[in-house]
Amino acid sequence: MKGIFVSGRYGSGKTAVCLAMALKLQAEGHQVRYFKPLGVMPAVVGREDEDVTLMQSVCGCALPHQQIVLMHSGPQYLSRYHRGEEYQASIIQAYRALAAHSDAVIVEGTTFLHIMASLSLDAPTLAQKMGVGCLLVSSVEDDYTVDRAILDCAFIQAKGARLVGVIFNNVPRPLLGKTEGVYRPLLEQRGIAVLGVMPKDTIIAVPTVRAYHDVLGGEILTGEEHLELLVEDVLVGAMSLEGALSYLRRAPNKAFITGGDRADLALAALETSTSVIILTGGLYPDVRVIYRAADKKVPVILVHHDTYSTIEKLREVSRKIRPGDARAINAAKRGFEAHVDWARLKELMLCP
């Protein structure tokens, strides 16, 4: 059994695919290791990579994180890293050490395939040097999805790496038919194997209230025991109370952002499908908001950013599966088993 390099753009669901593959290989009796040579610079210094924590738990491995994540990418990475050949050699050596003590190594790429290409540390170059194939995970949003997938596949092949194929992931239900009937044939006509079309599953694709708190910080005023609620939409409250209810009813399971001094809007939001109230400006709300939220089992988070800054920070929010999240782990496994051609994927993994 060889390794495989799982690549894809930010938010494509790479880690969920890596997780499901590891579980499948383990069920077949293989010893699996996980490698993520390029991590993302953590927002908080010293915070460990959550993907590594998850995959180490799944693989039953307790290696130090610094043996799994060797470098961290960021917009100013060239201020920190200079010697591309040395870093590349260290990454290949670390990969071979893992491969020597396992049956299969799942390598996960960073946020985009091209990251750190100036030092020859982009995903296709590393896959080519490791001698493993590249699996592209592509989330589906619209017709531009196909263009991005074709471009990414061309980049992988232009770098001399072997393209295993593509998995379309997080496909919205209304686009499932088009993905199967239009997107898949367009790629396969170009000789690109489409190995799966995985529907969007809110359990693993939609962030939780905890993910919002991890990014925003702030004080949890109530509902700390309900941080695993899913957040499917975000609404900002800056309207008059008269027009609020019809606006608020449009979005189920939402995060509602408003100033701490807008108790009227916060209370209105609590009468609709709301997963979390985020109060901005550091202004403590009327006590009625706390009592009503507690009664509704809705967390309330107080942040000291203004509303605009809070909305900007929400771009960093993503769904992270945690080691103890059996519901999400099982959902990732079920979706993979139901919608990915595992036999064909394994066959292509083993190709020279």
Which residue type occupies 103? D
Calculate ∠ Cα 62-68-70, nearest 5°: 145
Give the C-alpha separation, 287 to 9, whole Å.
43
CB-based contact 54:15 (threshold 8 Å): yes
Give the C-alpha separation, 281 to 163, whole Å.
49
Q: What is the pTM of this model?
A: 0.82
pLDDT tens string 232-285: 999 988 776 666 777 788 888 999 999 988 898 999 899 999 999 999 999 999
pLDDT tens string 290-334: 999 999 999 999 999 898 899 988 888 878 888 888 889 999 999
Q: What is the CATH number of domain 4-205+321-350?
A: 3.40.50.300
Residue from 164, 166, 157 nearest 184 by CA: 166
Strands 38-40 and 254-259: unpaired
CB-based contact 193:166 (threshold 8 Å): yes
Regarding predicted confidence, which is higher, 43 or 304?
Answer: 304
The full set of domain ranges for the chain reads 4-205+321-350, 209-316
Say whether domain 209-316 belongs to CATH 3.30.470.30. no
Residue from 278, 266, 275 nearest 208 by CA: 275
